[in-house]
């Protein structure tokens, strides 16, 4: 097993909140930008949960932990996933960066004691979404996309916000549609994206 996986428990202080422990863990691995991103996503997730009548505490917990596994370098994520019993898609093996959403679910459960399936599921699909998403799934997905961790403004932000002015589902749909319309720019297209596209097409295209 990777040494980082065995080191994590010693870096968690049970007297601190999940948020404090997560930020401290990221900083311990010199991931300051990720820590900033997590803080921003958490604030946005809480805002969206209030706006769209979703459980605020669940949204906060999922947002705090959505990127906790990025302490595993890209080149070690396949190994880490396999050591934790995560069966991978070929697309994930070809683009290990995307594995972090599934590793973060494992971290949330193993190291932070999260056992709420709705929270764990929202962490699991926060990059790609998937078919039949819950409102919490969509909130964490959108918070992550709004507060993206690259420079400048997300190119889809105007479309996303226009969708949100109508509904949470329309905001998610606008974002998935943008991603799929630009899939030629992606290294791989995760299978769950197709499931999300199918779901939203069936929800809105018939209207």
pLDDT in tens, 105-160: 999 999 999 999 999 999 999 999 999 999 999 999 999 999 988 888 999 999 99
Q: Residue 2: which of 103, 88, 101 has the closest Cα?
A: 103
* pLDDT above 80 (res 207): no
- The pLDDT assigned to 1 comes to 65
Percent of the chain beyond pLDDT 70? 99
Q: Identify the pLDDT of residue 152.
A: 84
The encoded tokens of residue 184 equal: 């030629």
What would the DSSP string read from start to end of 136-200?
A: HHHHHHHHHHHT-SSSS--TTHHHHHHHHTT-HHHHHHHHHHHHHHTGGGSS---HHHHHHHHHH
Is it the case that residue 29 has pLDDT exceeding 60?
Answer: yes
Nearest to 26 by CA among 42, 15, 16, 39: 39
Distances (CA, A) of 159 to 6, 155, 165, 170: 43, 9, 10, 10
Would you say 41 and 144 are in contact if contact means Cβ atoms under 8 Å apart?
Answer: yes
pLDDT classification of 31: cutoffs 50, 70, 90: very high
Q: pLDDT band at residue 61, thresholds of 50, 70 and 90?
A: very high
List of E strands, 25-71: none
DSSP labels, 58-81: HHHHHHHHTTGGGGS-GGGHHHHH
- The predicted structure's pLDDT at residue 55: 98
Q: What percent of the chain has pLDDT over 90?
A: 93
For domain 3-204, the question of CATH label 1.10.3210.10 is answered with yes
For the stretch 52-56, contacts whose Cβ atoms lie closer than 8 Å and that sit 24 or more positions apart, written own/partner, are 52/135, 52/139, 52/168, 54/135, 54/136, 54/139, 55/136
C-alpha 178/C-alpha 146 separation (Å) is 13
C-alpha separations of 104 from 51, 80, 93, 154 in Å: 26, 11, 16, 23
Range with top average pLDDT, 3-12, 17-26, 142-151? 17-26
Lowest mean pLDDT, pick from 37-51, 89-103, 141-155: 141-155
């Amino acid at each position: 097993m990777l040494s980082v996986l065995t080191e994590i428990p010693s870096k968690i202080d049970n007297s601190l909140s999940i948020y404090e422990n997560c930020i401290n863990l990221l900083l311990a691995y010199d991931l300051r930008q990720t820590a900033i991103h997590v803080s921003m996503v958490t604030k946005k997730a809480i805002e969206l949960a209030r706006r769209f009548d979703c459980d605020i505490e669940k949204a906060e917990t999922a947002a705090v932990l959505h990127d906790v596994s990025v302490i595993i370098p890209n080149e070690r994520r396949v190994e880490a996933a396999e050591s934790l019993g995560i069966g991978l898609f070929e697309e994930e093996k070809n683009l290990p960066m995307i594995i972090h959403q599934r590793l973060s679910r494992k971290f949330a459960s193993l190291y932070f004691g999260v056992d709420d399936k709705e929270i764990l599921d929202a962490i699991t699909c926060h990059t790609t979404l998937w078919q039949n998403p819950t409102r919490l799934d969509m909130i964490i997905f959108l918070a992550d996309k709004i507060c993206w961790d690259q420079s400048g403004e997300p190119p889809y932000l105007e479309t996303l916000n226009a969708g949100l002015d109508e509904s949470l589902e329309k905001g998610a749909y606008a974002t998935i549609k943008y991603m799929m319309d630009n899939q030629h720019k992606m290294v791989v297209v995760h299978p769950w994206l197709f499931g999300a596209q199918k779901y939203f097409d069936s929800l809105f295209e018939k209207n």
